[in-house]
A and B are shown apart, each in its own frame.
Chain A
Amino acid sequence: MQEENEHEPQLVSVTRIKCSEKTLRPTIPCILHFTEVTSVTGLEFLSQPGQEKTIRACYSLAWIIERCLPLKPDTGMEADVHNNSVPLENGNLAPVDRLRRDRSDSPTPGLVEGTEPGAGQDSAMFVHAQSFEDLTADGEQEQEEEVQVPEGGDRSERGPEVEKPRTEGEENEKMQGQPGEEEQEQEEVQSGGGRAKEEDVNSEAWRRHRKHVFVLSEAGKPIYSRYGTEEALSSTMGVMMALVSFVEAGKNVIRSIHAEGYKVVFLRKSPLVLVGVSRTRQSERELTRELLYIYYQIISLLTLTQLNHVFQIKQNYDLRRLLAGSEHLTDNLLRLLDCDPGLFLSAVTCVPLPSSLRDVVSSSLQAAKAKNLVFSILLAGSRLVTLVRKKDQYLHHMDLHLLYNLVGSSSSFREGEGWTPICLPKFNTAGFFHAHISYLEPASDLCLILISTDREDFFTLSDCKRRFLERLRRRSTYQALQEALLAPSYPVSQVGIPELRHFVYKSKSSGLYTSPEIPIPYQSEEEQERLMGLYQYLHSRMHHPTRPLRFIYHCAERENLLSWVTSGFELYLCFSPLGTKALAISAINKLLKWIRKEEDRLFILSPQTY
């Protein structure tokens, strides 16, 4: 299934295209084929005999590429990679046996899923998400699982990188029932908040941004642009839609364009189209995953049901009206994607706490339950303190990241109590949950999110919060918790490996990761992003769909990195440039031992349910 070969130029047939300098509209039929290879000059157009429009189509495509992709390529560091690839069975990293084994039964304790440091003792807290593979094994594949195959049914073999576009009928089958919350008054025009992003889209500065993200509707209407106003970009977005639709008209799907160090990635999620233009080293899959996050961010505000409904009624609906005021959520999510390892690791990190303290907090949350309460989540900043869930209901880490993003992007929850509908797209794209969001104290970092299924539950949940707080205070845990939060992380020096600067360790079975505080050389925003970029690069190499690696030692200019993935965990280490490979390898064992020793504190080992 994953035998795609990236080097094989693929033939994409294109039909029905009319080209002018500004727009491509699928009106005048003509047939052309183009081969997608990795540079602009490599874009070849082979016209069918007797089709005179080809040249103009080439012109337009060149124009598109010039317009959309004027970004300078990153200076690559490919040459420094030393890697030690281990041949894998099936060419796949997914554990052969997906069932968790008991710690004691495991032949190599610590390396197998379920026995690694940080693995939960009871059931996992999150959807049993089989880590990275499940989520992003293939952005497109995942899309299929979600939309086309309701019960994980058989998928027919597909040709390399070629997919048939989904028909409307299939899309609709999945959408049963009415929207949970219909909002149909359309008489009011929103005045829209002022956005501090009025950038000239023709300027060099606009073109130089590292990563652009565009969201548009199938009618080609702009919905979101990371930089610049949507209005100014409407013709560019029209061109993007034209690209998508003329490839689709040939019963095909455009996935990406690679040219001169930048990548244009398309994600088609009917009724939306998402386009990322990036000059980072991220792989196409990583970029697709980021677009998927943006897509889910939009779904979390509207539900897919409502989204489909709106566009069914009016194909050229301006979705910005319904999304008004949410731009900063998307902006913030894009920032998180650049600097939070949890989002590419598909994992969540928690505040290091003595397990006894965490247990008291968990049980207090557990006791403050209500009939319709599904999840109680206590956060400190963007770290989890504890999470209590209804039996048999799992929260997906992607949904949790969207919640983080919601809480982190809004200052208004600090003072009062917030109450908002939210769709958790990995749970159910059709309906809204209702979230009660409040800080335990205005000055505190502790934010409590209570998620209920009932939109009338505000006072019930407000009371849950009061009971939780009372219980915490009565058991004098509150003070202890506040004190513990004064040091929300730990310095890497605690591990006792002098050359080690930073690391990220993810336990696959619990979906949790741990990481020390960012050390001095990486504290500036750009440096932090650079470090995360390196991790992300290693991550994408290790999870490459066709040539996955298990172990990478990477000597970069300013640091040496080592990454290792087993069926139980993923580990990324960053050493000072003076460290040696031998030293790095010996550090692994020491670090794993340290994490095992500290796992009670660093992870949530016994998640609670109501």
Chain B
Amino acid sequence: MSTKKESKSGKVVPNGTSKHFLERCASTNEYFDIAFKVMLLGDSAVGKTCFLVQFKDGAFLAGSFIATVGIDFRNKVVTVDNVKVKLQIWDTAGQERFRSVTHAYYRDAQALLLLYDITSKSSFDNIRAWLTEIHEYAQKDVVIMLLGNKSDMANERVIKREEGEKLAREYGVPFMETSAKTGVNVELAFLAIAKELKHRAVQQPNEPKFQIHDYIESQKEKSSCCRYV
């Protein structure tokens, strides 16, 4: 295992991220080349845990809502351009009383997935407050992505896609609508993050800069064309 790691780390330019090469996946024995911390944020009950479980296990947590307690930490290794990227994903509790714990871990995160629920106006309205908090506590160059979750619940929609797009443009962050239930755009969100982070960490001199916005635009499924219900 160590030989593999060394050969990789030899190839990759250590631009301040070399510490990641020393880490080893703790909960599984999968090997990886780079590790990044990704955090899921958003109000309570917008579907953060379901979103993560859909990505990690390809399953939907049906049944009654059980609030996450504190922070939940899980790993998943994805392959981006033949590089194994380990995403250490922090699933946070949306409740107010856990804010202080969440804050303490903001600054470690390299990417933040900020979710709202398209069927809940308050969760959308709170996005601005979340972004303010992010600017206060997170790293300056953190990758942020705005996600409108529960896109399968078209009948109960109260936030139009355009509203989400507008807000995202205002803050200059990529945006898409997702569904943790059907899996629409879930993997894409994580892959885009992984690609962006990987490009930042190991930029080859002759390689063009990765454009996360363009990548998402080219890849994403419009939720309008994949309502299976």
Contacts and interface: CB of A to CB of B under 8 A. Distances in A.
Interface in B74-111: 74-75, 91, 93-101, 104-105
A187 interface: yes
Given A191-B45, A456-B104, A458-B73, A302 B26 contact: no
Interface stretch (A38-46, A322-330, A479-487, A525-533): A322-330
A478 to B, nearest CB: 15
B152 interface: no
B67 interface: yes
A466 interface: yes
B100 A325 contact: no
A83 interface: no
A335 interface: no
B66 interface: yes
A35 to B, nearest CB: 43
Interface stretch (B116-124, B196-204, B218-226): B116-124
Contacts of A412: 49, 66, 68-69, 72, 91
Nearest to A302: B97
B71 interface: yes
B58 interface: no
Interface stretch (A178-186, A268-276, A358-366): A178-186
Contacts of B65: 193-194
B44 interface: yes
A418 B72 contact: yes
B96 A415 contact: no
A410 B95 CA distance: 15
Contacts of A571: none
B101 A416 contact: no
Given A301-B97, A415-B74, A191 B129 contact: no
A294 to B, nearest CB: 17
Given A193-B44, A193-B67, A194-B65, A325 B120 contact: no
B104 A190 contact: no
A326 B67 contact: yes
A284 B93 CA distance: 37
Given A183-B96, A420-B69, A455 B101 contact: yes
A231 interface: no
A417 B126 contact: no
In the A-B complex, the 6 residue pairs with the smallest Cβ-Cβ separation, listed nearest first, are: A420-B70, A325-B67, A416-B74, A193-B65, A181-B100, A417-B73
18 contacts: A181-B100, A182-B100, A186-B96, A191-B123, A193-B44, A194-B65, A322-B97, A325-B45, A325-B67, A406-B69, A410-B68, A411-B66, A412-B69, A416-B27, A418-B70, A420-B70, A455-B100, A466-B26
Given A193-B67, A418-B72, 20 more contacts: A181-B101, A183-B100, A190-B43, A191-B43, A191-B46, A191-B117, A192-B44, A194-B45, A196-B64, A321-B96, A322-B95, A322-B96, A323-B97, A412-B72, A413-B72, A418-B71, A421-B101, A458-B105, A463-B26, A466-B26
